[in-house]
Every structure is written in C-alpha cells, then in structure tokens.
Amino acid sequence: MERGIFEEEHEIFRDSVIRFGETELMPHVAAWREAGIVDREAFRKAGEHGLCLMWADERYGGMGVGDFRFEQIVIEELIHHGDPGFGLTLHSRLVGPYIGMLGNDEQKARFLPGCVSGETILGIAMSEPGAGSDVAGIRTRAEDRGDHYVLNGSKTYISNGINGDLFVVAARTVPDNPHGVGLFLVERGMEGFTRGRNLKKLGLKAQDTAELFFDNVRVPKENVLGDPHKGFYYLMQFLAEERLIVACGCVAAAEAAFRTTLDYVRERHAFGRPIAHFQNTRFKLADMRTRIDVAQTFVDRCVMDHNAGRLTPEVAAEAKVFCSELEGYVTDEGLQLHGGAGFMDEYPISRMYANARVSRIYAGSSEIMREIIARGLGLDPRAQAAPRTELKRA
C-alpha cells in the first residue's frame, strides 16, 4: 500500500540515508555482529552525515529538524540497510532529547555538540537487576552532598553500555517516595563508575548491552537534569516517544521479514513447483501483507499526530504493542516458510526472528503496554495519574 505521509524532501532524504547505510554500515555489520559491538566510528560517520540528533538547534551543530518523519526514515532505513543493533536512534532520539528538553543552557552547550558529531555516545540507564517494568522500584540512590550528589547502585541491560560516553541515570533522591527520582548525567571516566561485561544475547548481536556500576560516584550538581525530584515524571513523558520509535522499527522489521520471505518462496521449489504456489504460502503472505499495511497506516498516523503534539501515551502504547507483536508474527511465519533454511544463520530471516523477540519486552513489555491502554479506559485500580509538565526541546 502506498504511504501518504512523505513529501519530496523526505524521499530525497531517504535516498541519502539508504546510500549512507549501503556505504558506511552494510560492509561492516557482519563484523559488528561477530564482535558484539558496533565500531564507534559508525556514530562519527552518522554525525558527519547529519544523522545524529537532527532535532538539535543549529547553535549546537544540529539541523533543528522537528519533523519526526525524518527520524522515522532513519529508523526504517537502518533496518533495511544497516542493522537494528546499531544504537543510533537510541543515541539521537531516545536519550539526546533528555538533554535537549531538560538540560539548561550550560548543559546543552557542554554536551550537545559532541552528541551531534557522534563523538559522545549516549545511553540511558533506568533498568536495574530488581526493577525493570516497575520503574518506581529503582534502588540506585543519589545522596545530596551540597554541591554534588553521590551515586550508589547498579543498572542492567543498558544499550550502548560499552560504547557509551554519557548516560542519563535514574537514581532515587527521596528514599521514602517511590516517585522521588532524579536524572543524572554520568560521564565516562567519573571515579567509581564502571561497567560489566558485554552481555551475550539471543538477538541484536551487534548491540553492546551491559551492566553499569556506581560506587560512590561524585556527580556535580551541574550534571543534574531538571528538578532532581521529578525524574520519574520526566521518564514517563519521554516514554511515549520511545514507544513510537520502537513501533516504527517493528513495522520496518516486519516489512523486511516479509520481503525476504517473498523472495525465498518464489525461488524455493518443492513437489515440482515454487513453494509460493501452495495455497498455504499464498494465504500466509496475503495475511502478512495485510497486517503490515494496516500497522504501517496506523504508525504513520501516530507519527503525524506526534508531529502535531497530539500523540497520547495510550495510543503510543497501542502502536508499540501491536507492531511488536506483528513483528513477532511475521518473523515467525516467515521463518516457517523458509523451512530448515530459516533456522540457519546465513539466512537473514533467522536473525530477524531472534531480533524480534526483544521488541515485546524492552521499552515497556506488551503487558505493561496493555496496562497503560487499560488505564486509559478508566480501568486503573490505583486511580492515580502522574502530573504533566510541559517540556521544550533545545
């Protein structure tokens, strides 16, 4: 189905991102998967191509692009012509905005230029060994010591965890209030800040995912983002966009799985004919195509609503749960249609199948998405809404 949200400038931009992927990413992805980490140079190259923090103001080296469609294009083409393990969108659009929207002028001037050039790689550290879905359960604590805070605790499953130079770390600032959390900018090299090994994973093999440890890390107050007691509410506000980002990636991944499966069933023969000629194959592909088109239309509408400032957390959650489950369905059916080949590393569908599994877990699991949607229906046993704060981007 033809998509109706892009204009000529978007298509020109898409072509440039495809070229970037073909020349700067695709030749390296096999090596990155093998190494379990993307070369830092990839972020720098993305910076050179103007793909890092495109939304940032020109005074920080950015392009001041507020239109989310450009980011959507980057998300899609990094899947088609790169690797979903390359944490560029996480850097640019998931973590960068915390500095852009919560940071003061001094923080923006200090950090954003390096993030825009791709020299400073970003990560976000919310999850802990004992607190993932339950953000209010985080135990990493930050003690106020006058001109600085002292951080103690640990985080886990942190993307860009090894490559990262600057992390937005959520830590408890008010011991007896589950929502009393602050956001701290922890820099590579700060004393007491260490990282664990690069964790081995089922999928996203090129992504470095690590534990982070904080042992009496002295964080100057200049590195506190916004109000040190409102971090929980800030996180909740950024999560809606994070879910849209994941949804965009999931539909693109489903599309990629569909295309590779379509190619395969045309070429593979059984019982004297292409397997594409079996009714089962044709019906499966027809179902996949239909569901992908429906999901894409919904996500595109969410993107336009997001541009207009109208995307609600509930609808972002609908997009995330629907598209991540779609990705799981398409990669699973696609693998089945590959037969034994689908189980082999050399066929892209096997990788897509493994990568898809985490989409239903990170950035809020499917169960948490359903909780959010249900609360929007007034089915909230806690009957307690988070106060909203208006945020402005750099």
The residue (of 125 and 285) whose beta carbon lies closer to ligand FAD is 125
Looking at the DSSP bridge assignments, the partners of residue 219 are 149
The residue (of 125 and 275) whose beta carbon lies closer to ligand FAD is 125
Instruction: Give CA–CA dist 49/237, Å, rounded.
Output: 29
Site for ligand FAD in 369-388 (CB under 6 A): 371
Site for ligand FAD in 196-215 (CB under 6 A): 201, 204, 209
Residue from the set 5, 274, 362, 393 that interacts with ligand FAD by CB under 6 A: 362
Annotate each residue in 96-125 with x if it binds ligand FAD (CB under 6 A) or - if it does not, as one string. ---------------------------xxx
Q: Using alpha carbons, select from 186, 333, 179, 313 the residue that is nearest to residue 260.
A: 333
Instruction: Give CA–CA dist 336/232, Å, rounded.
Output: 42
Instruction: Give CA–CA dist 260/266, Å, rounded.
Output: 10
Site for ligand FAD in 285-324 (CB under 6 A): none
Site for ligand FAD in 138-157 (CB under 6 A): 157
The residue (of 345 and 367) whose beta carbon lies closer to ligand FAD is 367
Name the phi and psi angles at 351, rounded to 5.
Answer: -70, -40
Work out how close the CB of 392 gets to ligand FAD at its nearest, in angstroms, rounded to a whole number.
Answer: 24
Work out how close the CB of 337 gets to ligand FAD at its nearest, in angstroms, rounded to a whole number.
Answer: 27
In the residue annotation, 242 being an active-site residue is answered as: yes
Residue from the set 25, 54, 99, 126 that interacts with ligand FAD by CB under 6 A: 126
CA angle at residue 166 from 146 to 372, to 5 degrees?
A: 90
- Considering only 127-135, 178-186, 309-317, 319-327, which stretch makes contact with ligand FAD by CB under 6 A? 127-135
Work out how close the CB of 18 gets to ligand FAD at its nearest, in angstroms, rounded to a whole number.
Answer: 26
Residue from the set 23, 104, 133, 216 that interacts with ligand FAD by CB under 6 A: 133
Report in angstroms the alpha-carbon separations of 296 from 92, 244, 307, 392: 23, 12, 16, 28
Work out how close the CB of 357 gets to ligand FAD at its nearest, in angstroms, rounded to a whole number.
Answer: 9
Cβ burial, residue 149 (10 Å; 0-12/13-18/19+): buried
The residue (of 9 and 367) whose beta carbon lies closer to ligand FAD is 367
| Four-CA torsion 137, 138, 139, 143, nearest 10 degrees | -120
Work out how close the CB of 254 gets to ligand FAD at its nearest, in angstroms, rounded to a whole number.
Answer: 18
Q: Which of 242, 255, 318, 325 is catalytic?
A: 242
Q: Using alpha carbons, select from 70, 50, 69 the residue that is nearest to residue 60.
A: 50
Work out how close the CB of 370 gets to ligand FAD at its nearest, in angstroms, rounded to a whole number.
Answer: 8
Work out how close the CB of 365 gets to ligand FAD at its nearest, in angstroms, rounded to a whole number.
Answer: 3
Tokens linked to 265: 């069933």
Instruction: Give CA–CA dist 245/284, Å, rounded.
Output: 27
33 dihedral zone (left: phi>0; alpha: psi -120 to 50; beta): alpha
The residue (of 116 and 124) whose beta carbon lies closer to ligand FAD is 124
158 binds ligand FAD (CB under 6 A): yes
Coil vs helix vs strand at 185: strand
CA angle at residue 242 from 238 to 243, to 5 degrees?
A: 120
Question: HEC states along 232-262?
Answer: HHHHHHHHHHHHHHHHHHHHHHHHHHHHHHH
User: Nearest residue by C-beta to ligand FAD?
Assistant: 132
Which spans of this chain sit near ligand FAD (rule: CB under 6 A)? 123-127, 132-133, 157-159, 201, 204, 209, 358, 361-362, 365, 367-368, 371
Residues with a known catalytic role: 242
